[in-house]
Structure 1
């Protein structure tokens, strides 16, 4: 379009386009006031586009199954279509009641105990200055993260409440109620 020069005159209702010295003028008001006799020619590009795309798919594809799945039935040669349809009919879908067999899980010989009974050894990472570790168990076990800005009284009160409800906290997967460790561990 870099070689084209287009002028649109809205008041006059004209559109003029000049390409390589040849000018075409389209009068919008005149075109809209007259019925189109050759309406089918306006849509001929749709037919051409469909035919070109189906031919490209047909020539690109050496696989008859792919051609059947990507084209309409009338676009295929009848013999190829019948051949592929016969091959597809051999493969019946699974019945609705089909379920693949389930394999039983291997029983685990190790019994995982809750962290309250056997506290895990955790690798604690350094924390930012606004938070810190507090411990609910003896010998710095069962760590929780609390705000560093708490007063001594607030910290003691929080630790007391957390100790009362420490069974609700989960340090390992064995601590989470309703989850079987044998189902989650690989």
Structure 2
């Protein structure tokens, strides 16, 4: 038997030919791993919820739970609906934490609208806090009635009633809510504005031209428009409150002959060119009074940049100590200034 190193060297340099071919049998688990036949692990797609409506109440997410033997509704939601009487029941519910709870009763044959379908559902009513995200739970009886088919890998839930079918994509339901009622006031305002402008703008199509030419008192609103405006009440009026600050007297220094003082008001002097005539000076003061907030007479008047728009953050090491370094060198150009 040759030595170990010599034996490997002869095999690598192809001086020795290995004639023995050995077959090794692998178990089924090793064979599946080597051939990459194992399924790819996927993430949790989340719980399946569908949009629905009961009467005038719109629910964006109703949880479809295969682990629930009944459909559950909080008592607070039942009080907002007119779906019949609450019937007594002897059913006791065992929750996920193994606790037992007695319901207040049950309501039967509640018409639930899902897309274009109306499906009757029996709800068990519990005295519990309403979840704002998932207010009701739809159990196995509802899923059986609606012919629900859940594709967990594809994230799809399909309901079939008779020959008709409706399908929900889990990702689309999570991105887009079923019902959006956040812009009702804006919609009303837009409708009122379009109505009013279409009634009065007969001579021109330019909104800016109409506003500049006509007075605001010329517009006669309809009774319907006035009722809609009065219905839009506001809890607190929006009042613009400006804090008044005591302006200290400014010391006026003597100026050269080419400059002079002009006053925006009693305590707001500005320096202007002495060669300006009265008309030019009045026009200049009119512009300065318009943008008076941009002029700062003291440090308190300088507003600076709001932190909402821009904020500089200096990252410091832990345990740092502030220090002031003296200026070592001055630019010659700055020295002249």
TM-score, structure 1 normalization? 0.32
Q: Larger % of helix: which?
A: 1
**Structure (1/2) with the larger strand percentage:** 2
How high is the TM-score relative to the length of structure 2?
A: 0.18
